[in-house]
Amino acid sequence: MSAPPASQPTVLDEIVAGVLEDLDVRRAATSEADLRAALADVDAPRDPMPHFRDAASSVIAEVKRKSPSKGELADIPDPAALAREYAAGGAAAISVLTEQRRFSGSLEDLRAVRAAVDVPLLRKDFIVTRYQLLEARAAGADLALLIVASLPGDLLDRLHDYARELGLTVLVEVHDEAETERAVELGAELIGVNARNLKTLAVDPDTFGRLAPLVPADRVLVAESGIAGPTDVQRFVDEGARAVLVGEALVKQGAPRDAVAAMTGLTR
């Protein structure tokens, strides 16, 4: 009897495989002990949660050059300058993509932004190891992203616990009902609902409204993907979002400060 055909790798599988290859290179250059030593020179983590719990909308503004779905988005030679514009516009936090192959990001971008602004910073990457969490904190991140879809078994729990030990606020990202249930059971305080399916890259703008009712009211919900302007932000705020994570819409137009300001402070 022949074996069943192997399933084709998803986009997410391919991204994580590349992340692990690049991680091996960084591990060879910088040991975990070196990263731990570097923590002594990093400021205490900034807490974004009071801002996120405010009744009005908060914006997590993203430094994003490229994406697997849209390709090149913007030439960002100076991520620090962009971050200063975001901060001036009232961003509650700034997300810095550090994945290299599909997003053209780096830890150097994160360090540059950290040196430029005082607002909380999110390391946006495909984090699947404790080492990456140490990297994030050593580079000055205050938040780290954990994507439920890429963390099977108890790996999500272990990385969530370790991130909290490091003082990081964890944004736990979900895409469907089962992942939302895992995030809630984990006790995640900050839950991001991504309208983009990372396995196919398709966007369903109804995802947030479908999943938000599954999350207890004492958690903070973040809407991710498919946000083009204040009208979209208002829709998600009305559906229960306290914050929105926006990248493409901010980097593709010429006034990021004004764009962040226009999305900030919306209420039901």
Report the catalytic residues: 62, 64, 124, 173, 194, 224-225
Classify burial at 175, counting beta carbons within 10 Å of its beta carbon; exposed 0-12, middle 13-18, buried 19 or more.
Answer: buried
Helices (H), the chain: 11-29, 32-38, 49-52, 79-88, 107-116, 130-138, 155-165, 177-186, 207-211, 230-238, 248-251, 256-263
Contact 250, 61 (CB under 8 A): yes
- The CA dihedral of 74, 17, 172, 237, to the nearest 10 degrees, is 30
Residues ≥6 apart with Cβ < 8 Å to 21:
none
